[in-house]
A and B are shown apart, each in its own frame.
Chain A
Amino acid sequence: MKQKPLHVLLVEDNAGDARLLREMFGTEQPGSFQLTHLLRMSDAIIHLGKGGVDVLLLDMGLPDAHGLDTVRQAHAMAPDIPLIVLTGLDDEELAADAMKEGAQDYLIKGQIENRALPRALRHAIERHRMQTETDLIRTNQMQFKDEFLSHVSHELRSPLTAIYGFVTILLDQLAGDLNSNQREYLEIVLRNIKQLQSMINDLLEVTGIQTGKLQIELQRTSVSDAVEYTVDTLLASASAKGITLSSDVERVLPSVCADPTRLRQILVILVDNAIKFTPASGVVKVQARTLEKDPNFLTVEVSDSGCGISPDMTERIFERLVQATDPALAGRKGLGLGLYICKELVTRLGGRIWAKSVPGRGSVFCFTVPVFSLSNLLAPAFKREKLMGSPITLVVTEIGSQTGWLSDEVRAEQSRGVRDLLQRCFHSDLDILLPKMGSAGAVELFFIVAITDRIGGEAITKRIREQFDDFEHTQRAGLTLLTSYRSLEAIKRNTNEPMKDFLEKAATQIQELLNEEISLRMVTNG
């Protein structure tokens, strides 16, 4: 059977080097290779986009890309195509770096021996195939492990429910009177059921974290509410141990950008831990305040008067399955996952968690949460790979619920307010967005348009779209259009559902914030 020729894409701007390579291919058996030669990275990207390339031979010094950047661009465009870089004699170090960036091999120009070229190409393809296979096996194994854990944890819940059901039936004497010994023993059973359930919950949470199934919905969140909830929830178990549980939250705290459920979860784990590790008549306290050295964060502290942690453990306790093992603290059991979950959650919320402790005198667990701002809320959107391909997000939203006639002054005030606000919002994301959009006119390309009526919204959207379409960079990047008007469809050219949800929610919050900002300005300016 005749083999299909290998399609080689050679990207090399030096005519001499290119000729040499072409000659080498010329000595191969006819029909074994099909060579496409391009001079520029931009052309190579377009060619790769069309598909059909089996292996890429890439010079690392091109007119429109240089060094490792060539490899990164090529790899980003076509991660599934084996890549060999061409380097100069004195560039072996660079070539080694290129391999770390995803190149399978390198060839030194002028040093390519006869017959070495086809061998290198075939090796690169084979190496790439093996790598892909290994990755796939590893992913499958991880997935199997997580699915297995998740399945087992779920299945454990039914028998646990039956055990819980009947133990509480006995304890509540629905099946007859109990003597004091029977009651005591059944309470021990119940305590252990609770322990087991909490372990199953932790296991499920951790498998969720590892499979990326952890749901985090960032929104404007009140820390005081979360603290209040936590104290309410755990007050009973604290008093049962004779522990004073209190909170001290600054009266005027800015809201944070977090998931309220997750924030409560973090606090419940920390406070519950504190109660477990604090002896009778001890104190557990929750505090929240703005961080002096960085106003962009709030800090929350859970302190206790418990046994404390030795200094060498204050970092390790956030690892999986690690517990401060003190034999004196018998009676506490757990998988050692609580603080690991906390750390994962805090990190996902964009904060940091740490512990301070003096053994014998108690511990303080602190974590930070970003103060609410639009850039915090939207930043993850721009970091998502899916959106990186189309980095221009146009958010069209409606400000104010005013209908009818507005004076020019009011309109001018509104647009000033909006402009100021938007500048603040997106400043921090510009470094992510701009390099992808080329240098010319980049700042002007990124808009949020806020308008007061629907017809105006559609007109402005259309106009901006036309301008965008005129510009080469934006044309290639595509446009994510988000609008609060149903008639314009929530987001066009974006089929990614989770992204759509996310942006829709963001739009609502932008709208709320804009409204707030505008009314504030109206008040300030009389």
Chain B
Amino acid sequence: MANKKILIIEDDGDVRLGYHVRLKANNYDTFFAVDAIGSLREARANKPDLIVLDLGLPGGDGFVVMDRLKTNPQLAVIPIIVVSGRGGFANRTRAQEAGARAFFEKPVDNDELLEAIRKVLGGPVQLEKAEFLPGPKRRKVLL
């Protein structure tokens, strides 16, 4: 079976490379975009199975990216996991409302991210609510 394709939208090069190494080791193929415009181009060109999205991006933030993806029926169905330095209740809620399947604050624990990816790619199963919760869940990552 062919590897699943993941589009990483992240403007920090080092963070991008880190994701790439980790995801490749877990048999995922990765593509990258560093800004809002590139995101749409890459999504159209590569038809990823999943998108890992940062919120703080040049030329239109992650929410803009989500909005634009929604305008294209083919891209609108791609599940999105948000991993952002911008945490907080407001961003979390907004991401959830925009259709993100999970929300993590940076730095996200490797195992938690991989588990979320597996779950999302596993089918149309809704993620457990706990993954949208701030505070303790996030703390657990690194305590």
Contact = CB atoms under 8 A, between A and B. Distances in A.
B1 interface: no
Contacts of B17: 165
Interface string B70-98: 00000000000000011111000000000
A162 B139 contact: no
Interface in B3-45: 12, 14-15, 17-19, 21-22, 25
B85 A261 contact: no
B107 A165 contact: yes
Contacts of A154: 56, 85-86
B133 interface: yes
Contact of B89 (A175, A197, A215, A237): A215
Contact of B110 (A168, A229, A272): A168
A174 B21 contact: yes
Given A198-B143, A233-B140, A160 B22 contact: no
A496 to B, nearest CB: 17
A175 B22 CA distance: 10
A194 B18 contact: no
A169 interface: yes
B138 interface: yes
Nearest to B110: A168
A229 B136 CA distance: 9
Nearest to B130: A229
Contacts of A262: 135
A185 interface: no
A197 B14 CA distance: 18
B22 A158 contact: no
B126 to A, nearest CB: 19
A161 B136 contact: no
Contacts of B105: 157
Nearest to B142: A194
Contacts of B89: 215
A178 B64 CA distance: 42
Contacts of A265: 135-136, 139
B25 A174 contact: yes
A165 B19 contact: yes
Interface residues of B: mostly helix, strand, loop or mixed? helix
Given A155-B85, A198-B142, A265-B135, A161 B21 contact: no
A158 B15 CA distance: 7
- Most A CB contacts (10 A, CB to CB) among B25, B110, B133, B139 go to B139
A164 B143 contact: no
Interface in B104-143: 105-108, 110, 133-136, 138-143
Interface in A459-476: none
Contacts of B107: 157, 160-161, 164-165, 193, 197
- Most A CB contacts (10 A, CB to CB) among B106, B108, B133 go to B106
A233 B21 contact: no
Interface string A258-296: 000110110110001000000000000000000000000
Contact of A201 (B15, B22, B25, B138): B138
The number of chain A residues touching the other chain, given as a range, is: 35 or more
Contacts of B142: 164, 193-194, 197-198
A219 interface: no
A144 interface: no
B15 A268 contact: no
A523 B88 CA distance: 45
Nearest to A232: B140
A158 B87 CA distance: 12
A230 interface: yes
Nearest to B12: A158
B139 A261 contact: no
- Most A CB contacts (10 A, CB to CB) among B85, B86, B88, B143 go to B143
A166 interface: yes
Contacts of A267: 136
B21 to A, nearest CB: 5
Contacts of A197: 107, 141-142
B46 to A, nearest CB: 22
A174 B22 contact: yes
A342 B89 CA distance: 18
A197 B110 CA distance: 15
A21 interface: no
A155 B106 CA distance: 10
Contact of A165 (B15, B87, B135, B136): B15
10 nearest interchain CB pairs?
A165-B18, A162-B14, A157-B85, A161-B107, A194-B142, A265-B135, A164-B107, A215-B89, A157-B106, A268-B136
27 contacts: A158-B12, A158-B15, A158-B85, A159-B14, A161-B106, A162-B14, A162-B15, A164-B18, A164-B107, A164-B142, A165-B15, A165-B21, A166-B14, A172-B110, A193-B107, A198-B139, A204-B87, A204-B88, A215-B89, A230-B136, A233-B136, A233-B140, A261-B135, A265-B135, A265-B136, A268-B136, A268-B143
Interface of B: 12, 14-15, 17-19, 21-22, 25, 56, 85-89, 105-108, 110, 133-136, 138-143
